[in-house]
Amino acid sequence: MTGNIAVAYKGPGKVEVIEIDYPSFELKDGPGVNPANIGRKVPHGVILKTVTTNICGSDQHMVRGRTTAPKDLVLGHEITGEVVEVGRDVEFIAVGDIVSVPFNISCGRCRNCKEGKTGICLNVNPDRPGSAYGYVDMGGWVGGQSQFVLVPYADWNLLKFPDRDQALEKIMDLTMLSDIFPTGFHGAVSAGVGVGSTVYVAGAGPVGLAAAASAQLLGAAVVIVGDLNEDRLAQARSFGCQTVNLTRGEPQDQIEQILGVPEVDAAVDAVGFEAHGHGKNSGTEQPAAVLNSLMSITAAGGAMGIPGLYVTGDPGAKDKAAQEGSLSLRLGLGWAKSLSFTTGQCPVMRYNRKLMMAILNDKVQIAQAVNAKAIPIEDAPRGYAEFDAGAATKYVLDPNGYVLGKK
C-alpha cells in the first residue's frame, strides 16, 4: 500500500492538496459519492499512476462556488496515466501501458454507449445520464488530480498510446486528449466547420483555443476568436487566428472589418453559463449573452457548437431563473435563421484516437496553441488562482514527476 495526495475543493475560492486513500477496486463513501454507488465493485477497472492531470475551466466553476460541490471533493477529470494495477476482468490493458482517460465515464454496454453517445452513459451515474471524474452530481467517481486514480471499464474507456517513449516525449500535447482537444474539436465539428469555412469562437480560454486550433485542422479559411481578455486573445493570434476584443463592443462590427460581412458560417460557444456582456456591459454577468450573440452572427442555415458548460443548478446566479439553468434566449431568431444547435458533453471517444494520430504525426501542436505549462501538484492552488485571474495558460499538474522530473 502506498500513499496518495490529491487536490480537493475546500469551499468557494479555495483548493488544497490533501492526503487521500490509495484507490481500490470498489467505490467507497466520500464527498460527492452517490449513495447508490457506494460499494460498487470495479473488477473491470485499473489503477493509474497519474502522469499528467490538467486544471479545467469546468473545475473553476466549482471552485468559484457556482455549483453544489461538497467540501473535500477531489477534483480533476483530465487524466493521463500509467497502469500500475489491473482488475481481474481486464483483458486488453496491461501494467505499464501509458493511456489517456476520456473525461466521460462510460460503460460500453448501454444503448447510448453502443450508439457512440458516451457523454450520456446510462449506467455510471444513478442520478442521470452522463458522468465524469471529480465532478459534482456525476456519480462520485474520485477525481484524477491525484497521484493515483481508479478508472472503471478500462478495456472500453482507455486509449492506449502505441509507444511509451514517444508518448512521454509528446505528453504535453497528448494530455489534452482527455478533454479540451476533443471538446474543442467537437465544438468545431458540430458547428459544421470544413474546408473554407469562416468561424467565430466565443472565448479564448483553453477550450476556445482548442476549438480554434481544431477549426484550422478541419480546413477553415478564417478563424476569429472573441474574448474580453487581451492576453488570451494574444495567445489566439500566436497561431494564426484573427481576434475580437469584446470590451470594445459587439462582435458583429469587428467581424465585418475582418470578413467584409458581419457574420460567419459557423460559431462555437466555448464560454458557458458564466458569460459576460460585451462593450459597455462587459463587466456584467449575462449567462445568455454568448448564445444570443452567436445567433446574431451565424449566417442563416449555419450551425452553433456549444461545448461551453451550462448547468441545471447555479446557486451563485443573480436571478432565480438562471439558478435553475433557465436563460433568456432569442430562440425565435435562431428558428427564423434555421440555425442548428449542438449542446452537451463531448463524446470524447468519438474523436480521441484520430486526434492522437494527428499529434503523433505532427499535424497539430495543441499544447503550444493553449500555452500549456506543467507545475507540481503542490502548486495546484497557485495554478487555480492564476487561471481564475485570467492567465492565458493551460495548467498541467505533474503529481509523480513524469514531466518535471523526480524529486
- In angstroms, the CA 317 to CA 94 distance is 46
Is residue 339 within 8 Å of residue 222, measured between CB atoms? Answer: no
- Letter for the amino acid at 18? I
Helix (H), strand (E) at residue 13:
none
What per-residue confidence (pLDDT) applies to 2?
73
| Domain at 182-343, CATH homologous superfamily | NAD(P)-binding Rossmann-like Domain (3.40.50.720)
pLDDT tens-digit map of 261-311 = 999 999 999 998 877 888 777 778 788 889 999 999 999 999 999 999 887
Work out the pLDDT band at 185, boundaries 50, 70, 90.
very high
Mean pLDDT confidence for 205-234 = 97
The two most distant CA atoms of the chain are separated, in Å, by 64
> At a CB cut-off of 8 Å and minimum separation 6, what does 268 contact?
184, 187, 188, 191, 199, 200, 201, 202, 208, 211, 215, 304, 305, 306, 307
The mean pLDDT of the chain is 94
What per-residue confidence (pLDDT) applies to 246?
94
Q: Which of 306, 312, 54 is nearest to 179 (CA)?
A: 54
pLDDT tens-digit map of 149-161 = 999 999 999 999 9
5-179+347-398 maps to CATH 3.90.180.10: yes
What per-residue confidence (pLDDT) applies to 406?
66
Work out the pLDDT band at 134, boundaries 50, 70, 90.
very high
For residue 159, give the C-alpha cell: 486509449
Question: For every residue of 340-397, which 3-state class applies, written as one string?
Answer: EEEECCCCHHHCHHHHHHHHHCCCCCHHHHCCEEEEEHHHHHHHHHHHHCCCCCEEEE
What per-residue confidence (pLDDT) applies to 298?
98
- What are the extents of the domains in the chain? 5-179+347-398, 182-343
Residue 245's DSSP bridge partners are: 227
Mean pLDDT confidence for 351-361 = 98
- In angstroms, the CA 32 to CA 76 distance is 13
Range in 84-98, 172-186, 272-286, 369-383 the model is least confident about = 272-286
What per-residue confidence (pLDDT) applies to 304?
97
Is residue 148 within 8 Å of residue 101, measured between CB atoms? Answer: no
Is residue 325 within 8 Å of residue 177, measured between CB atoms? Answer: no
Is residue 16 within 8 Å of residue 7, measured between CB atoms? Answer: yes
- In angstroms, the CA 317 to CA 190 distance is 28
pLDDT exceeds cutoff 50 at 407: no
Range in 92-96, 184-188, 278-282, 382-386 the model is least confident about = 278-282
pLDDT tens-digit map of 91-102 = 999 999 999 999
Is residue 266 within 8 Å of residue 305, measured between CB atoms? Answer: yes
pLDDT exceeds cutoff 50 at 404: yes
What per-residue confidence (pLDDT) applies to 84?
98
Q: Does residue 200 sit in helix, strand or coil?
A: strand
pLDDT exceeds cutoff 90 at 183: yes
More confident of the two residues 308 and 353: 353
pLDDT tens-digit map of 1-43 = 478 999 999 999 999 999 999 999 999 999 989 999 999 999 9
